[in-house]
Structure 1
Amino acid sequence: MRALLSGYYGKGNGGDEALLATLLQMLPPDVTPVVLSGNPEETSRRYGVESYNRMALFPVLKALRSCDAFIWGGGSLMQDVTSRISPFYYGGLMALAQMLGLKTVAWGQGIGPLVHPQTRWLARRNFAGCTKVSVRDRSSSALLSDWGIPHILAPDPVWALESKPVPELADLPTPRIALTLRNHPHLTPKRLTNLTRALIDLQTATQAFILLLPFQKSEDLEIAEQIQPQLKNSSQTICLEDPQLLKGAFRGVDMAIGMRLHSLIMAASENCRCFALSYDPKVNRLMENLAIPGWDLKDLPDDANLISQTWIDYYQHGQALSSEKIQSLLNNAFLHRELLREIL
């Protein structure tokens, strides 16, 4: 069997690459994956798979016709807040796959926000036409239940991604605090300044080595490069494109401060205390589900001292998820694998 995998792949986003790596890890061994990618050459090289340009019409149509199944491979593909075009791209591919009679799977999805009636109608139609559906959060599950669409609810698949140690981290000082910020309208220059001041105070109070981990160079690296010179010599920016290494970078990290959803998931899965800075409802959902402390960026305190003291208190007294909780999340994430085995 050949399965066409569609997601935000090949765009340099560590979280979406982690979803692809997890999906490839979970596919039954007798299924041949074919990946639609923003950088098909790099995707083929990294994962050893057949890959096509996700925006090239005729190769995409040819790939669809050559496959037996079509999989939305994780993430918030059906949402219309960051892009009005995105749901029509992914929804159009799903509708076409369903018209061609392929087995269709919506895998590890986080649905919404869907604020426009047209995209909400399209999403409902897409999900209703799927052979199998799995979602990663209670809000998405509730929406599908309202629509009367059968599905399974399981933690984000990346909980189950196998991590690899990063050799160059072994010689870095401890304790360590990891930071992942991304470019976003809510991260205004004033807020970034306050966060940087608070981070300096946190480092002074804890004597921690700050590990800056850009998850997407185009969105994160510039911010990391603005912050690092202010952290003296006790910091390092590390860009890791292999998602298994990126997850492994959180091994031996005492605390992670992150905007990106998958930075928090990876850190928590590696037994690291997490503090969230939310820019998106999906991050708020994770904070609620796992009782992760943090702020919505829109509500970030104006006082850098209050931010730093909150971080220091959490560093000194906060707790990572218990090993039992982490194991439970990992085990339940494998429900996404069982879904694939049932249909493929």
Structure 2
Amino acid sequence: MLKQFYNKLYFLKNYFQEITVFSWDPEYTMRFHHVKSISHFSPIEVIREIKTSDTFVVGGELIDDSGGGLTFRLSKPFISKILGKKVIISAVSAKPIKFEVRKFLLRKILSKFELITLRDKFSYLYFKKLGLKNIHLVSDPAALIKSAPTSDIERIFKKYEIKKNKRIISVCLHPQFQQKRGWSVRKIYNEEILLEALPEAFDNLIDKGFQLIFIPTQISRVGDDRILAYKIRKKMKYKDSFKIIEELYSPEEIKGIIKQSELLLSMKFHPLVFAISEGIPTIAITCENLSRVKNFHKEMNLDRFTLNLDELTSKMIIKKVEDLVLFKSKIKSIIQLNAEKLKKRAQKNFKLIEKYIA
């Protein structure tokens, strides 16, 4: 996937001599990101690493209380604080906590940390409402990642027989299930809704002259985006015109592919950030468990192009694509303004980190 820590890791290497990542899949993390990694579920190794570190950074998390997740997410930074380490919560999102006891716990723990930055306005306002003082509104560092050179993208297009002279719609979808804390799996949405709406919508868009590219951002034992794409293609009339990228490319390359697109259809947060930062119009598909996608699109003044998955139909998708094409110049103007805002706020995040680790 576009690892939740990756966009921070990309820049944190400028500030720290050595970095160790706690991961669900350490082997994959080391192979793909070229960084030392240990399992979340090796307590002795985790504590050993914390003891020898100077700073503990949490990046890209969603802080909520789903399935006991609050305790799990805060346990390591809390231990780090007990051991006298600096703790930075960097560019996270948050969902409202339901129970007062958990709110109290969250407030007490987070108030001890040196720095907390939130990557969307809704999370920032929620933390402010909780009474936290050490918080700052920033953007996700994905906005600052540079697209891969055009020559690299042309190589990818050639491999998958993607035609640059055809109008491209890039697609990023979220798997139906999400692995939580290594041993449990949570159902995020009903996949059948997508399998009913998307094949018909994609065939219709291909009829209108569009070329569709599916871009996986997660291929690991934790999850594989391509499985859903294969199911969609199996139900399509124009199977050969729905190009599924089979391998996991770097964030720079994924951003470069999106940059060559006329628009992006996405259920995922980071591809949306990539698109907006490159001035590419977006359509977001969201549900209750993908609130950060909905919040991000709303903050970008693009809620008109946000689709509720539970009500999704092929006609709704086609209509949104047609509207984007019809109002392209107006939408582009909105997106360009948001792109500059995103980049400035993302730069602010690392200026704050630099200040607090000095």
Q: TM-score, normalised by structure 2?
A: 0.83
Could you say what secondary structure the match of 2:285 adopts? strand
Q: How far is 1:105 from its partner? A: 0.5
**Cα 1:135/1:317, change in 2 over 3 Å:** same
Task: Report if aligned partners of 2:114, 2:134 keep a CA contact under 8 Å in 1.
Answer: no
Residue type of the alignment partner of 1:212 = F
Which residue of 27, 38, 41 maps to 1:41? 27
Alignment partners' CA distance in 2, 1:299 and 1:271: 28
| 1:138-169 deviations in Å (ceiling 9; x for gaps) | 12111222213221101222111233243312
Task: Report if aligned partners of 2:56, 2:85 keep a CA contact under 8 Å in 1.
Answer: yes
Task: Report if aligned partners of 1:14, 1:246 keep a CA contact under 8 Å in 2.
Answer: no
Task: Report if aligned partners of 2:197, 2:312 keep a CA contact under 8 Å in 1.
Answer: no
Could you say what secondary structure the match of 1:334 adopts? helix
Residue type of the alignment partner of 2:280 = C
Residue type of the alignment partner of 1:123 = L
Residue type of the alignment partner of 1:309 = K
User: Is 1:327 matched up with 2:340?
Assistant: yes
Q: How far is 1:295 from its partner? A: 1.3
**Cα 1:187/1:204, change in 2 over 3 Å:** farther
Task: Report if aligned partners of 1:91, 1:122 keep a CA contact under 8 Å in 2.
Answer: no
Which residue of 288, 291, 297 maps to 2:298? 288
**Cα 1:160/1:309, change in 2 over 3 Å:** same
Task: Report if aligned partners of 1:15, 1:263 keep a CA contact under 8 Å in 2.
Answer: no
Alignment partners' CA distance in 1, 2:319 and 2:95: 34
What RMSD in Å do the two structures reach over aligned CA positions?
Answer: 2.2
**Cα 1:241/1:53, change in 2 over 3 Å:** farther
Alignment partners' CA distance in 2, 1:14 and 1:222: 17
Q: Which ranges in structure 1 are unaligned for 5 or more consecutive residues? A: 1-12
Alignment partners' CA distance in 2, 1:232 and 1:45: 32
Identity of aligned residues (%): 19
Q: How far is 1:180 from its partner? A: 1.5
**Cα 1:120/1:163, change in 2 over 3 Å:** farther
Q: TM-score, normalised by structure 1?
A: 0.86
Match of 1:264 in 2: 272
**Cα 1:330/1:62, change in 2 over 3 Å:** same
| 1:70-100 deviations in Å (ceiling 9; x for gaps) | 1111231x2123xx23321221111111111
Residue type of the alignment partner of 1:268 = I
Which residue of 177, 200, 203 maps to 2:203? 200
Q: Bigger shift: 181-190 or 135-144?
A: 181-190
User: Is 1:254 matched up with 2:262?
Assistant: yes
Q: How far is 1:66 from its partner? A: 0.5
| 1:41-80 equivalent positions in 2, closer than 5 A | 41-76=27-62, 78-80=63-65
Residue type of the alignment partner of 2:339 = I
Q: Which ranges in structure 2 are unaligned for 5 or more consecutive residues? A: 177-187
Task: Report if aligned partners of 1:28, 1:341 keep a CA contact under 8 Å in 2.
Answer: no
Q: Bigger shift: 144-153 or 308-317?
A: 308-317
Q: Bigger shift: 321-330 or 253-262?
A: 321-330
User: Is 1:237 matched up with 2:244?
Assistant: yes
Q: How far is 1:45 from its partner? A: 3.4
Q: How far is 1:183 from its partner? A: 2.7
Q: How far is 1:241 from its partner? A: 4.3
| 1:271-328 deviations in Å (ceiling 9; x for gaps) | 2110010122211111210122121212334xx3343233223234333354443133
Alignment partners' CA distance in 1, 2:105 and 2:78: 9
